[in-house]
Amino acid sequence: MDNPLAMKLEQFTAFTADERQRLDELVSGRRHTYAARTDILVEGEKVNEIHIVLSGLAARYKILADGSRQIMAFLVPGDICDVEVFVLAEMDHSIAALAETECAVVPKRIVESLLTESSNLTRALWWSTMTDSAVLRERIIDHGRRDTRERLAHLLYEILLRYRIVGEAEDNSFRFPLTQEELADATGMTPVHFNRVLQELRSDGLVEFRAKTLRVLDPVRLKAVAQFNSNYLHLDRTEAGDGQVAERAGDLV
């Protein structure tokens, strides 16, 4: 099986055969499959393993007092659910599997020993954490200063790139198994209004979203509508020095 974590981290740096093997060991140990709409981690939980998404789709979320939910981030294959376990006492938010989701479950001491052995892997993990933060910041911009149409376009374009990186959207079409209500919870809209905005993007010929599959029909115009600038995803791999740009994300960056 391919290793989405390694595929993602290769956007940052090249690995030696040994490092690559370490990354493979990381995802080839214990695994757990979470059913659709079940929690992987809940707010307040003390965690002793890290969870790496291998397939499926998960989301960080919080439920407020009035029952409303905000999804703060999506976790696609290759994403790590809980790097914070190394230093934080307990989860400050929950993570749910939106569809059936398989995770590698790695005891934190395994990761710790791996980090002391390879500074390159340590740096790759830092890179992953820093880009996760950049994605959160971009979400704040989405909510604060982009109208709902731009906001949805921006989120979908980002998701497209992230799926491309792990090789799951070769033809700009990928399995995206969630409901409009869940996307509304991520974009800060009501389901009703979300539906109207989605219909706009559809009738403009930008995207198609049917049967749990998202197809981006016109990436160039979608990117323009979103005023998307991919710099915050840090896909340029400058260290490599070979001028190679975001291999798998391709011309969309």
Partner DNA sequence: CGTTGACTTGACGGAAGTCAAAAGGTGTGG
Partner DNA sequence: CCACACCTTTTGACTTCCGTCAAGTCAACG
Point out which residues bind DNA (CB under 7 A): 147-149, 179-181, 188-199, 211
φ, ψ of residue 84 to 5 degrees: the values are -65, -15
Residue 154 contact among DNA, a second copy, none, beta carbon within 5 to 8 Å by kind: none
Query: 133 vs 213, which CB is nearer to a second copy?
Result: 133
Distance (Å, whole) CA 56 – CA 58: 7
- Integer CA distances (angstroms), 94 to 10, 69, 238, 247, in order: 28, 11, 34, 33
Q: What angle do CA 22, 136, 73 make, to 5 degrees?
A: 70
Residue 240 interacting with a second copy (CB under 8 A): no
Binding a second copy by CB under 8 A: which of 26, 50, 73, 207? 73
Residue 45 interacting with a second copy (CB under 8 A): no
Beta bridge mates, 73: 60
- Would you tell me how many other CB atoms lie within 10 Å of the CB of residue 44? 11
Distance (Å, whole) CA 171 – CA 173: 5
159 dihedral zone (left: phi>0; alpha: psi -120 to 50; beta): alpha
Site residues for a second copy, 104-143, by CB under 8 A, read: 123, 126-127, 129-134, 136-137, 139-141, 143
Q: What angle do CA 64, 65, 66 make, to 5 degrees?
A: 95
Residue 154 interacting with a second copy (CB under 8 A): no
Binding a second copy by CB under 8 A: which of 1, 17, 64, 211? 64
Residue 243 interacting with a second copy (CB under 8 A): no
Query: 62 vs 212, which CB is nearer to a second copy?
Result: 62
Residue 213 contact among DNA, a second copy, none, beta carbon within 5 to 8 Å by kind: none
Residue written as tokens 């996307």?
183
* Least distance CB 145 / a second copy (angstroms): 4
Residue 188 interacting with a second copy (CB under 8 A): yes
φ, ψ of residue 11 to 5 degrees: the values are -65, -20
Residue 199 contact among DNA, a second copy, none, beta carbon within 5 to 8 Å by kind: DNA
Query: 143 vs 212, which CB is nearer to a second copy?
Result: 143
Asked if residue 96 lies in contact with residue 61, where contact means CB atoms within 8 angstroms, the answer is yes
For a second copy, the binding residues (CB under 8 A) are: 12, 43-44, 60, 62, 64-65, 68-70, 72-73, 83-84, 86-90, 92-93, 123, 126-127, 129-134, 136-137, 139-141, 143-146, 185, 187-188, 227, 231-232, 234, 236, 238-239
